[in-house]
């Protein structure tokens, strides 16, 4: 960690689905000693957050093992006590990265009651909008798990992300309708603008799925139409 600071790294995004190993290890197959190291590193790093002007974000993947309010509030308190910049929640999806048990960890409509409790409790805390997801995120997640389709026209990835996947620059891993082309293609500014415009025009070809939440900014809400 110190080496990274010495080398000038100032932004850290760390996946912490729980501050308790018993819950964390249901989501991710790591040993207790690696988890303890992770927590120790996070503690050490947070001591530098003000002096070194760091941005530290905790990425919390919500599954049916960690989505209870007690776990959510523990993470928020942990982050606030250490002045951590941001806590970003996103629902689990099965892309093979999280863990082989991802299909069993998916959130479903059986989790709605707890999610509504979380939304109510977070709303009452009046947390800064750049610290954690908006109330709209929790409402969207509740709607999505209730079977309501979310509107892809509000997708923000053209403004905040470019991904390289198998040699192709993409808006996201799952968008099939357009990309920037191969990495060695000659891209001018006007070509990029044209491709972005086309992407935005055809966004209705996408369907919002659990994975679509992960690339959106922290204040993202799916419900509104793109203005
Ligand atoms: S698949 Fe989802 S995240 Fe990707 S571009 Fe479409 S709506 Fe956006």
Residue 85 falls inside a structural domain: yes
Handedness of CA 15, 223, 168, 183 (dihedral sign): negative
Q: Which domain holds residue 50?
A: 2-149
pLDDT value at position 28? 86
- CA 181 distance to own-chain centroid: 25
Protein residue with its CA nearest to atom 3 in ligand 1: 212
Residues 188 and 138 in one domain: no
**Number of folded domains that form the chain:** 2
Residues 28 and 91 in one domain: yes
Residue with the smallest CA separation from ligand 1 atom 7 is: 152
Does residue 121 sit in the same domain as residue 183? no
| 59, β-bridge pairs | 15, 88
In the chain, which residues have pLDDT < 70? 1-2, 95-100, 224-227
Mutation choice for ligand 1 from 93, 144, 175, CB with most ligand atoms inside 8 A: 175
- Give the pLDDT confidence score for residue 37 in this predicted structure: 95
Structure tokens at 207: 């369907």
pLDDT at 175 (0 to 100): 92
183 and 142 co-located in one domain: no
Looking up residue 55, the CATH number of its domain turns out to be 3.30.750
178 lines ligand 1 (CB under 6 A): no
**Position 113 in a domain:** yes
- pTM, full prediction: 0.90
For residue 172, give the ligand 1 atom closest to its CA: 4
* Ligand 1 geometric centre to CA of 85 (Å): 26
Ligand 1 proximity of 210 Cβ (cutoff 6 Å)? no
């Amino acid at each position: 960690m110190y080496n990274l600071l010495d080398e000038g790294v100032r932004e850290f995004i760390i996946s912490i689905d729980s501050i308790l190993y018993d819950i964390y290890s249901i989501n991710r197959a790591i040993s207790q000693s690696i988890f303890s190291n992770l927590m120790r590193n996070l503690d050490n790093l947070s001591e530098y957050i003000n002096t070194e002007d760091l941005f530290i974000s905790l990425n919390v993947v919500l599954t049916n093992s960690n989505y209870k309010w007690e776990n959510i509030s523990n993470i928020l308190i942990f982050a606030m006590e250490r002045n951590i910049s941001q806590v970003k929640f996103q629902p689990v999806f099965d892309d093979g990265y999280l863990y082989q048990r991802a299909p069993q960890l998916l959130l479903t409509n059986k989790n709605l009651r707890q999610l509504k409790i979380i939304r109510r409790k977070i709303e009452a805390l009046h947390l800064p909008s750049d610290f954690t997801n908006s109330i709209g995120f929790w409402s969207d997640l509740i709607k999505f798990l209730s079977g309501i389709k979310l509107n892809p026209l509000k997708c923000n990835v053209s403004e905040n992300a470019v991904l390289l996947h198998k040699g192709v620059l993409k808006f996201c891993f799952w968008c099939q309708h357009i990309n920037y082309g191969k990495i060695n293609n000659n891209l001018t500014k006007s070509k990029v603008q044209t491709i972005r415009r086309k992407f935005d025009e055809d966004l209705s070809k996408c369907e919002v799925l659990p994975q679509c939440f992960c690339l959106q900014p922290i204040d993202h809400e799916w419900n509104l139409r793109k203005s």
